[in-house]
Structure 1
Amino acid sequence: MPRGGSRREAEEFAQRHQKWIARQRARVPQQRSPVEHGPALRDRARRELPPRLLAFAAQHGLAVSRISVRNQRSRWGSCGRDGHICLNWRLVLMPPSVSDYILVHELMHLRRMDHSPSYWRLVEAACPDYRSARAWLRRHGPSLR
């Protein structure tokens, strides 16, 4: 409320501009839910993610040189040219189909270190429903960070 304005004036303004206010509120991202950052979840990620990644690697005939589980702020995972795959511990907060997509996404970089159409064909062959997982990440991923 502007300095010097009355409560009545503010309420009248809100009534007159109700639709505009609703549109503006809809544009603002929902408040992020607090995520438990305790050691238990990180330990769970370190226990669960590497075996799942290695199982997918074996299934696709790929060799991983090293796996790290980290507290990454802007990535769900990464893959180095040397075969080192880093995973965000927050993958354990996602539905398994979504975290599996991320594991496959990183593994396919062992075949192609880019995001070309050829790369996405590899991802689709390994994870046919990857588009749904990406949609889930766009919708819910920000609340996990």
Structure 2
Amino acid sequence: MAVQLGLPFESDRPLSLESPEPTASGERTAPAVEFYFVRHRRARRYVLRVDHDGRVRVTIPRGGSRREAVAFGLRYLDWIGGQRARLGHPALGTEERRRVKEQAAAALTARVRALAAEHRLQVSRVSVRDQRTRWGSCGRDGHICLNWRLMLMPAWVRDYVMIHELMHLRRLDHSSAYWRLVADACPDHEQARRWLREHGPSLR
């Protein structure tokens, strides 16, 4: 993900990721995530940045539009969540967490099945749940269970969690032989485990 620093900019008014619905009293709830738009005459592409205060900025290139900028930001919600977790900010607000949970089942199921096929493994079924103590699990029957909060992680960390569970289809233990399987399938597994130790608690 490109990060643009040190360039002059002019910020537009922020736009909520979703338009919150009014409450019974007529008041609107706080937006889940706000995009702050930056128009730069020399920018050649859309650039996404999470500032140190947790705000999300999108640079709009010449000829670009706010509609396209929003669509660009929506494609990287998992990256935004990971960056905000690193900075110690809540990954997503209440409304956006609800929306991501609704998307998690299809997205996580498709990805874990793709990884299983890549490694020639058979998965009997996939469940996506709201778990507090586990990122995932694998049963003897080939049932893979995943935490919806994987959607809030960077993609490479999310893939590690899935590979961790998939390798249990070959060895249902945490022996040295098992970890060799993980290392072969996911060379950056140690970095992913470190990320989970450092940032995982903020996603729960």
Scaled by the length of structure 2, what TM-score is found? Answer: 0.54
Q: Residue 165 of structure 2 aligns with which residue?
A: 106
Write the mapping of 1:10-49 to structure 2, written as runs, cut at 5 A: 33=90, 35-36=92-93, 38-49=97-108
Flag structure 1 segments of 5+ consecutive residues without an equivalent: 1-29
> Aligned equivalents of 1:122 and 1:47: distance in 2?
27
Structure 1 stretches of 4+ moved >6 Å: none
**Higher helix residue share:** 1
1:86-129 CA-to-partner distances (Å, cap 9, x unmatched) read: 00000000000000000000000000000100000000000000
CA contact (8 A) 1:65 1:82 kept: yes
Whichever residue aligns with residue 110 of structure 2, its letter is P
> Aligned equivalents of 2:194 and 2:124: distance in 1?
30
Matched position secondary structure for 1:115: coil
Whichever residue aligns with residue 144 of structure 1, its letter is L
Q: Residue 203 of structure 2 aligns with which residue?
A: 144
- Identical-pair percentage: 60
What displacement does 1:35 show? 4.8
What displacement does 1:33 show? 3.1
Flag structure 2 segments of 5+ consecutive residues without an equivalent: 1-86
Larger radius of gyration: 1
**1:54 aligned to 2:113?**
yes
Write the mapping of 1:66-105 to structure 2, written as runs, cut at 5 A: 66-105=125-164
> Aligned equivalents of 1:62 and 1:36: distance in 2?
36
- Compare relative contact order (CA 8 Å, sep 6+) and give the higher one, 1 or 2: 1
| Number of residue pairs matched by the alignment | 116
Scaled by the length of structure 1, what TM-score is found? Answer: 0.75
